[in-house]
Amino acid sequence: MKNIRTLILGMATLAIFVSTANAQKLLRWKFVPGENIQVNFQQDMRMSTDMMGNQIKTTADMGMTLGWQVKTVTPQGVAEIAQSIERLQMNMSNPGSAPIAYDSASTTKPTGVAAQLAAGIESLVGVEVLQQLNPRGEILAVTLSPEAQAQVAKAPAAAQVQQVFSKEGMKALLHQAATVLPEKPVSPGDSWTSQMDTKSPVGSLHMDMKYTYRGTEVYNGRELEVVDVSVNVGFGAEPNQLGLKVKVAEQEGKGALFFDATAGRFVSTQLNQNMSLETTVGKTVHRQQLETVVKMQFANRSGPSAMGAPVRQASVAVPVGN
């Protein structure tokens, strides 16, 4: 009888533990005035285009180091954050052309095509944007100071640069790899969705994202909330500014987001997108295979000594999962 009671007590304790482990979690950003956050963004693209039976392969990689300085936080948890791009890195390759490399932190002045690229994007570096972010990660407002507006206006592609620093542009940047957190507490298996419309060089872009809370997992001794994501992308039917019409024939987009509920922020995110595209130029249709990997990492830093750390070196690999 004593052994039976002990067994029943043990089973009850296990049930309580399992229930606690699978309890609902409220996922919210938590900001502290004065804290300095480094955000590393990396996007790697590989494209293969069928041109009359020949496969033309191109690559385009972009890295950004962003600085977030938390100015104020309201009692409701809405943070005013001064964001600036501290470093930009771009590497591109195209058959028949010399590779293009640009790094805003390099002391070597770019030449050739890289110099033309620099002229279009170097005005982005150092521009400070004030954004208001609520605990769910929704961007409520984006403001450029008069000085920042003047700096952006000097860019050769001023309209495109201004779009990047608009409210919608900031949303697209943040939510490309992260997400607006669910309104209510979630249990493993719970899902929520979001949509995003933005502009791109190949036309208007619509994204449907589905997020599913996987649960709490431990990585390097740290408990993280894991959210799986699937993405569907569609392009507008109208021809873009290049005169091209792009259609998605097949696609698969999935990834995972890792959130520290105790610290109140994302730690690392990764999204893998594979698409088969049909690009129409006049009456000619070109078929393309596009592979894109988008990664984002958030990390606290103590001061200016961490400013401008290379994106690739700062990134931490976190398993994507299923």
Give tens-digit pLDDT for 245-297: 888 889 999 999 999 999 999 999 999 999 998 888 777 888 889 999 999 99
**DSSP 3-state assignment of 8?**
helix
Higher pLDDT, 168 or 97: 97
Q: Is the CB of residue 227 less than 8 Å from the CB of residue 214? A: yes
CA 119 to chain centre: 25
**How do the domains of the chain map onto residue ranges?**
25-306
Give the tens place of pLDDT for each residue, 156-203: 554 555 566 555 666 666 666 467 899 999 999 999 998 877 766 666
Q: In angstroms, rounded to a whole number, what is the distance separating the alpha carbons of residues 242 and 236?
A: 14
Q: Is the CB of residue 116 less than 8 Å from the CB of residue 108? A: no
Kindly report the CA angle at 187 between 183 and 191, in degrees rounded to 5? 60
Q: In angstroms, rounded to a whole number, what is the distance separating the alpha carbons of residues 73 and 264?
A: 14
Does this model's pTM top 0.85? My answer is: no
Residue in this structure with the two tokens 């170097």, named with its chain if needed: 122
Q: In angstroms, rounded to a whole number, what is the distance separating the alpha carbons of residues 43 and 307?
A: 20
Q: Across the strands, what pairs with 295? A: 42, 270
Q: Give the per-residue pLDDT at 20.
A: 41
Q: In angstroms, rounded to a whole number, what is the distance separating the alpha carbons of residues 93 and 98?
A: 7
